[in-house]
Amino acid sequence: MTPEPFPRGEAPFDTSGIRRDPRGVAYYTDLPSSLVEMFRAGVEANPDGEALVEIDGQRLSYRQLWDESARVAGGLVAAGVRRGDRVANVLPAGVDWVLGFLGTQLAGAVAVPVNTRFAEPEIAYVLEDSGSTLVLRPGEPLPDGEPFAADDLAPGDLAAIFYTSGTTGFPKGAMTSHENFLSNVETALRVLQFDRADGPDSRNLVSVPLFHVTGCNSQLLVQIGLRGCTVVLPTFTVQAFLRAVVDERINLLTSVPAIYALAMAHPDFARTDVGAVTRVCYGGAPIAPALVERIAAAFPNARVGNGFGLTETSSISTFLPHEWAAQHADSVGFAAPVVDLALDSVDPVSGVGELLIRGPNIVQGYWNKPDATASTFVDGWLHSGDLAGVDEHGLVRIVDRVKDMINRGGENVYSVEVENALAGAPGVAEAAVVAVPDEIMGEKVGAVVVPAPGGAIDVEKVV
């Protein structure tokens, strides 16, 4: 049975220039053909504008970023890398990581960003499973050769493979096309309501890993699409984060809730001028409504918003805009402009079911995993593994992972809801809820909590 998409509800996003193909999938009609074309357009429009900054490292204009990336591409080609070959990137966050990624695109090859937090067996698996022709490693010079740029890439060409960090087994490689990347860039520009004419003035601080889709797809590539500047913080410390916001004139922040909580709790925050910050985005983890209120108060000139997505959706699937953020802080927002949502196996009482997602941002499947691809990507819909509800406004609420739901004596307990409640308790910085075996109830609710910096948890107040 074909899923029926939910109505878009009150989603406030720009939906102009969108059409549907014969399968019913929505797509943007006026995108570049590839990341290379988008990158070249940025260079031509803003050649001398600052494109990339590594804190305590290099600073590159758009012209310099293109020239150095093209030399990396030429070096890859000279080393035997051909169209469609995989190039693994195990470099730390910084200018070299970006040059390696963009150089791979200019070579017409497929980037494989490697999660450097993986254990050694997982890294070895990624390199072997991807069949990478060449590996960019720390301490080794980047490939260098005569400048090269593949200008005939197509939207459907494979551009990258991001390996997901699964809870069981080895990671799965999400095959991301140029169209997937470009659709996400356009979505980000629309949900964040950027005035594209002001794009070159945009300065975004990347404080999350570039090997994740949030850092790469929704920050680095969005800034290139805007012709703005990406400022990379190679190693996170609260002091470095706050100093970069001021010194680099940052006006866009995108990070996980924990980083904002740490920043606002730091003694230096009160002395940090955040007046230039006009957008603060969060996502990647549940967030307590109280923390949303604190973020909005701490960044008084900023629009705040919550983004939700997966590696398999090339980053953004839904977005909660500023006007809805305070009163609906438990929501991840509305469907993105080209995204359709549906629910599978809906509980008739709660209205909760598995979230299905469709759009041009959905990756092509899992590399070398036909069975996992067939079970996860069904008739154009991604089975996300997230349990969610959609209300009458079109707002989505994620309540759990399918595998994480706790069955307490026949009653479904959604761990995310309990985590949200705990995260707002006095003295609690983070919380994780798990099922604990119980002879009578089958499962009971267990929680692991982390105290706020410099504080202690009052157990009686928490429970």
Please give the DSSP secondary-structure letter assigned to residue 220: I
Kindly state the tokens that stand for 181. Answer: 């990347």
Q: Which tens digit of pLDDT belongs to each residue from 120-160?
A: 999 999 999 999 999 999 999 999 999 999 999 999 999 99
How much is the pLDDT for 365? 98
Kindly state the tokens that stand for 331. Answer: 């929501």
CB 384 within 8 Å of CB 355: yes
The burial class, CB within 10 Å (0-12 / 13-18 / 19+), for 349 is exposed
| Weakly modelled stretches of the chain, pLDDT under 50 | 407-411, 414, 438-442
What length is written for the chain?
463
Q: For the beta carbon of residue 463, count every other beta carbon within 10 angstroms.
A: 8
How much is the pLDDT for 407? 46
* C-alpha to C-alpha distance for 126 and 88, rounded to whole angstroms: 9
pTM over 0.95: no
Kindly state the tokens that stand for 455. Answer: 């504080």
Q: Which tens digit of pLDDT belongs to each residue from 294-314?
A: 999 999 999 999 999 999 999
CB 125 within 8 Å of CB 119: no
Residue for token pair 């070159």: 200
Beta strands 428-438 and 442-451 are: antiparallel
How far is the CA of 338 from the CAs of 12, 143, 161, in angstroms? 13, 38, 22
* C-alpha to C-alpha distance for 217 and 109, rounded to whole angstroms: 17
